[in-house]
Amino acid sequence: MTKLDETDRKIIRALQREGRLSNQDLSQRVNLSPSPCLRRVRNLERAGVIDGYAAIVDQEAYGLPVTVFLQVRLDRHSQENVTAFETAVAGIDEIMECYLMAGDRDYLLRVVVASLADYEEFIRRRIHKIPGIASLDSSFAFGVVKRSQVLPG
Amino acid sequence: MTKLDETDRKIIRALQREGRLSNQDLSQRVNLSPSPCLRRVRNLERAGVIDGYAAIVDQEAYGLPVTVFLQVRLDRHSQENVTAFETAVAGIDEIMECYLMAGDRDYLLRVVVASLADYEEFIRRRIHKIPGIASLDSSFAFGVVKRSQVLPG
DNA sequence: ATTATTCCTGGCAGAATCTACCAATATTGT
DNA sequence: ACAATATTGGTAGATTCTGCCAGGAATAAT
């Protein structure tokens, strides 16, 4: 993929807002006829700019009202510890996001669970089992003020 | 919406993974024929359990490689300050997520920008303009270890 | 146990959509 | 100006969507 022009960006913006837009509607919104529009979408998908599509689900309605941000520090940053932690993270469903951070906290995780009791269980049975963790710091969210799927620009 | 049964959950899981599954494919995966499957999906949408669909876009490929977590404290928690802050947040595109937090930090924001210079600009021109902010604390992410669209359970 | 009610299912068919191929147009570099 | 390349819009066959209907399972009441 060489570069994104304004039409590509329009397509991306539209699909971030409405991921199931039909190609016809999409093509109208970006002032293109259906076939070049579809081709651009497929190119963006092939190039990995569009990485997939997802249904956005209401956590509470789904029965998972509790969001916790968990900051993790490892004791030593040996390759072992790092890969052990990161592969463990990949396999734990409650961890929706994990970022490698600058500063004194190594990782920031967003964790989603049904209750506080489940969170305790989650820490005990999932996190404490991972070797090489030096410290944990949990911050609870009261609620979501904003959540957007549309990147700026 | 009364409650989610196992078929509803299967549908939700499938659509979180592949938001553009055709109804036919979806119905096969959840062992249903197309029409009841479609009806369930529409019900989930109407009930707000499925809140929409979105294309998942690669931040870097889109030209926004920098992710920063910004923790904000307000001086006083007057209704004024809170609504001023929250409406401001809603209107700022670089803020992808904003959580109201327990503990001494009031808000946690995930901010996406193209560069460090843009982040400085963002703080100066967007955040410092909001009244009632007592403190800011920015944490930079080196990278994404995991990001999932599929809720656990 | 039987009946009635309700909800859910699956099949059907017309309408809408997708998508690969074509020639024509626009863009780019020399 | 020209050639090479990329992009566009139209078309048509195949696929998919989706509202409607009758049949069947589950539940509740008598």
What would the pLDDT profile of B55-81 be if each residue is shown by its tens digit? Answer: 999 999 999 999 999 999 999 888 999
Return the domain boundaries, chain B. Answer: 6-46, 66-141
Lookup: tokens for B96: 């992808």
B37 has pLDDT over 70: yes
Of all nucleotides in the shown strands, which has a C1' nearest the CA of A35?
Answer: D9
Q: CATH classification of A66-141, choosing from 3.90.580.10, 3.30.70.920, 3.40.1410.10, 3.40.50.2300?
A: 3.30.70.920
A2 has pLDDT over 70: no
Stated length of chain A: 153
Helix H or strand E segment including A142? strand A133-147
Q: Is the dihedral of CA B30, B36, B42, B47 positive or negative?
A: negative
B33 has pLDDT over 90: no
Q: Which of B49, B59, B101 sits opposite A139 (nearest CB)?
A: B101
3-state helix, strand, coil in chain A (%, to 5): 35, 30, 35
User: pLDDT value at position A133?
Assistant: 96
Mean of the pLDDT values across residues A20-36?
A: 92
Residues 26-45 (B) with a CB less than 8 A from some CB of A: none
Through-space separation of residue A11 CA and nucleotide D4 C1' in angstroms: 28
Distance (Å, rounded) from C-alpha B60 to C-alpha B35? 40
User: pLDDT value at position B150?
Assistant: 97
Confidence band (pLDDT; 50, 70, 90) for A82?
very high
Mind listing the pLDDT tens digit for each residue in A99-147? 999 998 899 999 999 999 999 999 999 999 999 999 999 999 999 999 9
Lookup: tokens for A127: 């996190």
Q: Is the CB of B24 under 7 A from strand C?
A: no
Mean of the pLDDT values across residues B33-43?
A: 91
Lookup: tokens for A147: 């959540």
Question: How many interface pairs between A and B have CB atoms less than 8 angstroms apart?
Answer: 220
Q: Is the CB of B34 under 7 A from strand C?
A: yes
Beta strands B95-101 and A95-101: pairing type?
A: unpaired
Chain D nucleotides reached by a protein CB under 7 Å: 7-11, 16-21
Of all nucleotides in the shown strands, which has a C1' nearest the CA of A37?
Answer: D8
CA distances from B20 to A30, A42, B53, B58, B115 (A): 20, 13, 8, 17, 32
Residue B115 CA, chain-centre distance (Å), reads 21
Lookup: tokens for B147: 């990001």
Query: Is B98 within 8 Å of A143 (Cβ atoms)?
Result: no
Mind listing the pLDDT tens digit for each residue in B109-147? 999 999 999 999 999 999 999 999 999 999 999 999 999
Through-space separation of residue B104 CA and nucleotide D2 C1' in angstroms: 70
Residue labelled with tokens 């947040």: B89
Classify domain A6-46 by CATH number: 1.10.10.10
**What does DSSP assign to residue A79?**
H
3-state DSSP call for residue B5? coil
Mean of the pLDDT values across residues A59-71?
A: 96
Asked whether the beta carbons of residue A143 and residue B99 sit closer than 8 angstroms, the reply is: yes
Confidence band (pLDDT; 50, 70, 90) for B2?
low
- Most distant CA pair in chain A, distance: 57
Residue with more model confidence, B7 or A68? A68
User: pLDDT value at position A91?
Assistant: 98
